[in-house]
Amino acid sequence: MRLIWKTAAAGALFAAAAPLAGQDATDAPSMPPSGTSMVFVNTGAILPIAPGADAAQAQFQTELERYQSELATLATELDSLVAQYRRQEAMLDPAAKEQRQQEILDKQQAAQNRQFQLEQQSETRRGELLKPILDNVREVIEQIRAEREYSIVFDIAESGVIAADPDLDITEAVLARLGVEPPADSISGR
């Protein structure tokens, strides 16, 4: 499970008109011309380094470890029950054997049900932790789209784009607006 996770409109308009703080015009990420009908972004490259992602991942990992610990305890209890049954099996009458076997099956089913519940809880929690980060990234993408009058922004991390002109990539501009330094090897390959 992975992990596997907002700026004011006035400030965003100012940021689009002028280079970002600490940058001169040559440092600003290149972007497709205003009015380009379609551009793309790679949220798969943005989300792991977006503001708040590290804290969300750490929180999720802590909660996941708690779930894994609970499942390990259930597995140990089940193993112990099976081992006890095997030690005593020869001495048990058929009715007692059947009862113990049913106890083991019930415990296995309960453990599987709990595992399913914990998996659902962890996915729900992951979504809760990622929501503010995703909302912030989406807001920045929408600000750039509106400011530059792009008609459509595709997310190549999710849309299955096979090929795209790297000059249409706004990933670095989104990272810059989020205040995150793009990786040294450059996300867009430009």
Q: 3-class SS at 33?
A: coil
C-alpha R_g of the chain: 26
Q: What are the residue boundaries of the structural domains of the chain, listed by start?
A: 9-20+35-178
Q: What does the block give as tokens for 46?
A: 């943005």
Mean pLDDT for all residues in the chain: 83
> CA 115, CA 120: separation in Å to the nearest integer?
9
pTM tops 0.85, yes or no: no
Dihedral, 108, 114, 119, 125 alpha carbons, nearest 10 = -170
Q: How large a percentage of the chain has pLDDT more than 90? A: 70
pLDDT tens string 161-186: 888 888 999 999 999 999 998 777 65
Phi-psi region of 179 (alpha: psi -120 to 50; beta: other; left: phi over 0): left
pLDDT tens string 48-107: 999 999 999 999 999 999 999 999 999 999 999 999 999 999 999 999 999 999 999 999
Give residue 87's pLDDT: 94
